[in-house]
A and B are shown apart, each in its own frame.
Chain A
Amino acid sequence: MGDKFKVAQPWLTLFARLILGGVLLAAGALKIGNLQKSAMAVRAYELLPVSLANFLGYTLPWVEIGVGLLLITGALVRISGLIGAVTMLAFIIAIGQAWARGLSIDCGCFGGGGAIDPEDTKYLSEIIRDIGLLILGIYLYLYPKGRFSLDK
């Protein structure tokens, strides 16, 4: 970790904020138009009690939008990055267990979701994407100070 990192770090933070924030904002925005489907997507993981799954399905898209907006504007970056990372970890666990149990579902990450044909599942690519986003979230928790940020 030399001088080069010191120079690059604020720009990397900006990059991580825009990617993670942009993905979360898009993911939430695509779901709020169809919350029935969002709740169905969460239920399809067969991980949570039905009432809790429905609650998450109705509310999680708004949290994604909120965290996405905070990351993009650069407010509360450390906490937002942490929430983003925890969310991604939860998604990875949820998708992983669905895969391991042989469920056939769409992750419902960007709208959609629910039971699908077994040959249409794409668990590996979903998990790889979420691991990438998890790393960005952890980076933001460690290095929240970056360019063009409302946080000082």
Chain B
Amino acid sequence: MAANNGGDKGTRNLVIVMVSFIVVVGVVFSLISNRSSTTAAIPASVSADDGYGIVLNPDTKPTIDVYVDYQCPACRAFEIINGGYLNEVIAQNKAKVVFHPMTFIGPESILAANAAACAADENEFMAMNLALFQDQSAEENSGKWQGDALLNIGKSIGINSAKFETCIKDGSYVNWTGNVATATAKADVNGTPTIFVNGKELDRSKENNEYGDPVKFRAALAAGGVK
């Protein structure tokens, strides 16, 4: 055994106190930072009652909830396969569609979600949604969406307003993405993409995958009352 002296006991107690302090501060910080913020700026089309999602066709029934992360490859695949039909459903006012941009993949998901919200204020959410997936990097948080990249994506779909530029540059809705994340956690969404039609989650099983097959996706929406 190492030499036994009085100083060691003091060191031991000091270590115990410091470790306890780290754990308590960490726990408190984590719990507070994952609570919904009441002061976060939210886009005009966002409804707190709909999990802070971006709402399109607010007065239509049924309701389709769409949970995606702009850096998630499976979400990009979903957009390619079913995005066209979903756009049609929205454009023809066949359903209320609520988009919940998740940010668990990291910082560039937050920037992308912020940009999507900025575009929503310009009534260009769906175009931005598609453009973001089209511009998705093969690597997570690669740096591709830093700087002016997202502003330029907005310009490429025709958003040139000064308000949009400020919104992107200031990250006006970054805090809002935290509220979306908190609401998503409460809604028990554990993967992306996740779609609910009237609260019923689409089937992800291998045998009957309603995300990867356009015919099954249409059928699932129809079963939920999308005519």
Contact = CB atoms under 8 A, between A and B. Distances in A.
A150 B26 contact: no
Interface in A1-58: 10, 32, 34-37, 39-40, 43-44, 50-51, 54-55, 57-58
Interface in B151-200: 181, 185-186, 188-191
A59 interface: yes
Contacts of B103: 36
Nearest to A57: B185
Contacts of A138: none
B227 interface: no
B57 to A, nearest CB: 28
Interface in B67-113: 102-104, 106
B8 A150 contact: yes
B27 interface: yes
A40 B184 CA distance: 9
Contacts of B20: 66
Contacts of A131: none
Contacts of A145: 1
A75 B186 contact: no
Nearest to A74: B12
B73 to A, nearest CB: 12
B15 to A, nearest CB: 5
Interface in A137-152: 145, 147-152
Question: Could you say which interface size class chain B belongs to?
Answer: 20 to 34
Contact of B22 (A37, A66, A73, A76): A66
B4 interface: yes
Residue among B2, B31, B191 with the highest chain A CB neighbour number at 10 A: B191
A36 B181 contact: yes
A55 B34 CA distance: 10
Contact of A39 (B16, B185, B206): B185
Contacts of B22: 62, 65-66, 69
A interface, over-half SS: helix
Contacts of B16: 70, 75-76
A135 interface: no
Interface in B1-41: 1-2, 4, 8-9, 11-12, 15-16, 19-20, 22-23, 26-27, 30-31, 33-34
B30 A44 contact: no
Contact of A65 (B26, B106, B181, B185): B26
A115 B104 contact: no
B30 A152 contact: no
B10 to A, nearest CB: 10
A89 interface: no
Contacts of A65: 22-23, 26
A55 B35 CA distance: 11
B31 A70 contact: no
Interface of A: 10, 32, 34-37, 39-40, 43-44, 50-51, 54-55, 57-59, 61-63, 65-66, 69-70, 73, 75-76, 105, 114-116, 118, 145, 147-152
19 contacts: A32-B26, A34-B104, A35-B34, A40-B104, A40-B190, A43-B190, A44-B190, A57-B185, A58-B30, A59-B27, A61-B26, A69-B15, A75-B12, A76-B16, A105-B190, A118-B206, A145-B1, A150-B15, A152-B4
Given A35-B34, A54-B185, A150-B12, 10 more contacts: A10-B1, A32-B30, A36-B34, A36-B181, A40-B190, A50-B186, A59-B27, A73-B15, A75-B19, A114-B190
Interchain residue pairs A-B with the least CB separation, the first 3: A115-B191, A62-B26, A66-B23
